[in-house]
Amino acid sequence: MPIRLECLSHTPLQGYFDPAPDVLNEVERVQAAARARVLAYDPELVVVFAPDHYNGFFYDLMPPFCIGAAADSIGDYKSLAGPLPVPGALARDMAQSVLAADIDVALSWRMQVDHGAAQALEVLTGGLDRFPVIPVFINSVAPPMATLRRARLLGEAIGRFLARTGKRVLVVGSGGISHEPPVPLLAGASDEVAERLIAGRNPTPEGRAARQARTLAAAKAFTAGDSGLHPLNPEWDLAFMEKMASELLAVDGMTNDAITRDGGRSAHEIRAWVAAFGALSAYGPYRATNDFYRPIPEWIAGFGAMHAAPVAAA
């Protein structure tokens, strides 16, 4: 019952507004190395923990966590669009098993995922449909959110289920670390923005283009130092990565308010990493490697990458 883990930041701005060539080349090298590891491992099942950015989940019904038993990628920015090859019965059994472990999780038979899941799959596998995949949504932008501890326990419960399948599993965490792209908040929003956050599914192409243009403009202003967005926080990011490597339980002491304060509103995407490491931890002691970290303002991202495996498999 082997397991491997890959966690990495995502950004839809890659390809729109890139950092200096030496930085971009280094990121591409790190991404290619991760992909080579995954392809050599040849997983029988990928579980991708990912946030959503008001593309598939809205305030008309916002669960803290949701397992996808069938899913499509919407293809925002340059991310791939199309169906994910989800083993539906296995995903349903996963949800059942998580619920039996006292962790409340939603189940969707028609989930929409965005760049949060799609970019990780493309980077790590070369497409959306290379391996059977179960997407697990973790609310990371729409308060109120579950605790970080709960993301760890969700991951652990999923890990125990995965171990029982006997499959060669890859768990992926996509997001973070410190960053605050211009994703609106419902509190204080105009009626028009509120409507988009509550019921904004399947926007017009113009609506989508306007949103993507806003993100790009924000990245340019942020890089120029001319922006009210929360600054990247490399110290906090590296401390978080260190926790993932050697002190996972320490996340239980991180409050949601502290995450917003120290890392910015979208830093809550670290939940995806925490859940992935939680799943790995269910297999016993593990060894993690910090593959990359750099604050990349062009991408509005404290950009990190790690991989890990059980000690016994190393």
Interface with ligand A1EG2 (CB under 6 A):
10-13, 53, 175, 179, 181, 183, 215, 266, 300-301
Distance in Å, CB of 88 to ligand A1EG2, minimum: 27
Distance in Å, CB of 191 to ligand A1EG2, minimum: 20
Set 10, 115, 230, 307: catalytic member? 115
Q: Which one, 101 or 189, has the nearer CB to ligand A1EG2?
A: 189
Residue nearest to ligand A1EG2 (CB): 53
Distance in Å, CB of 175 to ligand A1EG2, minimum: 6
283-307 CB burial, b ≥16 within 10 A, e <16 = beebebeebbbbbbbbbbbbbbbbb
Give yes or no: 10 in active site: no
Give yes or no: 53 in active site: no
Sign of the Cα pseudo-torsion (243, 249, 250, 253, in order) = positive
Q: Which one, 53 or 150, has the nearer CB to ligand A1EG2?
A: 53
Sign of the Cα pseudo-torsion (236, 234, 5, 82, in order) = positive
C-alpha closest to that of 197 among 153, 250, 141, 156: 141
Instruction: Say if residues 117 and 50 touch (Cβ distance below 8 Å).
Output: yes
Set 179, 230, 268, 307: catalytic member? 179
Q: What is the distance between the alpha carbons of residues 258 and 310, in angstroms, rounded to a whole number? A: 30
DSSP state of 107: E
Q: What is the distance between the alpha carbons of residues 217 and 8, in angstroms, rounded to a whole number? A: 24
Q: Which one, 173 or 181, has the nearer CB to ligand A1EG2?
A: 181
Distance in Å, CB of 161 to ligand A1EG2, minimum: 28
Q: Which one, 55 or 108, has the nearer CB to ligand A1EG2?
A: 55
Q: What is the distance between the alpha carbons of residues 241 and 249, in angstroms, rounded to a whole number? A: 13
Query: Could you give the residue numbers annotated as active site?
Result: 115, 179
